[in-house]
Amino acid sequence: MQFCIKWAALFGRLKTDIQSIRAQIPALASCTYLNCGTFGPTPTIVADEAVRLTRLIETKGPYDRDVNDEILGLFEHSRRDFAKYVGASPDEIALTRNVSDGINIVASGFDWSPGDEVIITNEEHPSGSLPFLNLAERYGIQVKLLKFQTNVEQLIADLDTLLSDKTKLVFLSHVSTVDGARLPAKEVGEFLKPKNIPYMLDGAHAVGQFPVSMKDLGCDFYAGCGHKWLLCQQGTGFLYVANDWITRLKTSWVGWGMTEDYDLDSLSYTSLKTAQRFEFGTRYWATHASAVKALEFHNNIGPENIYTRSHDLANQLKRRLVDIPGITVKTPMNRMDSTGIVCFSTSGLNHPEPGNWLWKNHRILTAHNPVTKSMRIAAAFYLLEDEIDLLADKLSELA
Ligand SMILES: Cc1ncc(COP(=O)(O)O)c(C=O)c1O
């Protein structure tokens, strides 16, 4: 508790004390880390925990009873932590490797027939669109594209025109990976609920950026991960399956660990009645076990503090970028519709690959796509105002 108060107080004086938070994330000293949208940098307490558990496995053996109990205990601890973080019950959480896993579990959990329809947005990440394009190829389902937009009335009106009696799932990104805009996801949930149309969100860029609540969003499925904005280790995904869907969503991959009963003589089995029925087989449980420390780190700073600071940094960057010739900001400028992600077109800059140039010359790590000529910056809470200015200054040199 004392620790929490200390951190909350630190955030109050963040301009001077951000350094003490940064000192606990060593990668921040080696570069300007503007890409936690792909992988978040690891705090020392998280890496230490992962190393500690790996050493336990090394020195005592992975199936030593104590080691096994401790690691599996922490694995379940992380399930409870993720559940609490997103306002769900632990029974509604399957621990996965990544966001893509969660999307695939749901996409393959329906009995598809030719002509069934799925609605996705026109700004999905490949991991959000490929599972459905694959279903189109295999089962002849139809994928319909909804324009990603932040205007609630227009979004709902467009969605309404796409719905039909064949719509089997609506799958939308909570935050667009293309422009960092934030979907009015709760309003979509309110619209779909009375229609009984299953609703899934891709929370890759929402979880850890701003507080999310499953019940509030009204979605049936939500795929998220710890390895981006929550600063967990790679391989820490989770899938929320709303209670009333746990036994209705079909399991496509099965194996030990997902049953209550299993009897080969009678060729029968009964799956668990929790979202654990979507997990099976051996995994490196220590990875999720170390997520407990990452959530502790995050919660000690405070989700609201993190959200506010990240937004402020994103706004600082947007204000600088609009003045740079050759750059077009794609992310909405207003706070309600945006997040800590800032996306912009670099097509007017005098360099074909500004992402490489920033990295090679200035050790500024961004996500740049040379094909679409767009750059994505994750203005995460741990950054300094000076780092945001440094990026803007360097981009100005290419204008
Ligand atoms: C919106 C979105 N969805 C899904 C993914 C895939 O995430 P993962 O690598 O955890 O499967 C990403 C990766 O950046 C993403 O941006």
127 C-beta neighbours (distance < 10 Å), count: 18
CATH class entry, domain 52-298: alpha beta
Q: What is the DSSP string of 161-220?
A: HH--TTEEEEEEESB-TTT--B--HHHHHHHHGGGT--EEEE-TTTTTTS---HHHHT-S
Is-contact 5 335, C-beta < 8 A?
Answer: no
pLDDT at 218: 98
| Dist CA 75 CA 292 (whole Å) | 8
Distance from C-alpha of 225 to C-alpha of 245, rounded to nearest angstrom: 20
- Strands 374-378, 199-202: pairing is unpaired
- Runs of H (alpha helix) within 302-364: 303-321, 354-362
Distance 229 CA to ligand 1 centre (A): 12
- Top mutation candidate among 171, 174, 177, 339 for ligand 1, by most atoms within 8 Å of CB: 177
Three-state secondary-structure class, residue 25: coil
- For the chain (length 399 residues), average pLDDT per consecutive 10? 48 67 97 97 98 98 96 98 98 98 98 98 98 98 98 98 98 96 98 98 97 97 98 98 98 97 98 98 96 97 95 97 97 93 96 96 96 96 98 97
Q: How far is the CA of 99 from the centre of ligand 1 (A)?
A: 6
- Burial environment of residue 352 by CB neighbours within 10 A (0 to 12, 13 to 18, 19 or more): exposed
Assign domain 9-43+302-396 one CATH number from 3.30.2310.20, 3.40.50.800, 3.90.1150.10, 2.30.110.10: 3.90.1150.10
DSSP 110-137: S---TT-EEEEETT--HHHHHHHHHHHH
Q: What CA–CA distance (Å, rounded) separates 20 from 25?
A: 9
Cα 340 versus chain centre, distance: 13
Ligand 1 contact, 104 CB (< 6 A): no
Q: Is 128 in the pocket of ligand 1 (CB under 6 A)?
A: yes
All structural domains of the chain with their residue ranges: 9-43+302-396, 52-298
* Binding site membership of 131 for ligand 1 (Cβ less than 6 Å): no
- Note the pLDDT of residue 17: 83
Atom of ligand 1 minimally distant from the CA of 227: 10
Beta strand pairing status for 374-378 and 341-345? antiparallel
* Whether the Cβ atoms of residue 317 and residue 23 lie closer than 8 Å to each other: no
226 CB less than 6 Å from ligand 1?
Answer: no
Q: Which residues pair with 240 in a beta bridge?
A: 93, 222
Ligand 1 atom closest to residue 98's alpha carbon, by position in its atom list: 10
Residue 21, by phi and psi: left (phi above 0), alpha (psi -120 to 50) or beta? alpha
Q: Strand 93-96 relative to strand 167-173: parallel, antiparallel, unpaired?
A: unpaired
Residues 358 and 361: their CA atoms lie apart, in Å, by 6
What is the phi/psi pair of residue 33, to 5°?
Answer: -90, 90
Q: What angle do CA 145, 149, 154 make, to 5 degrees?
A: 90
pLDDT given at position 10: 52
Residue ranges in 61-125 assigned as alpha helix (H):
65-85, 99-107
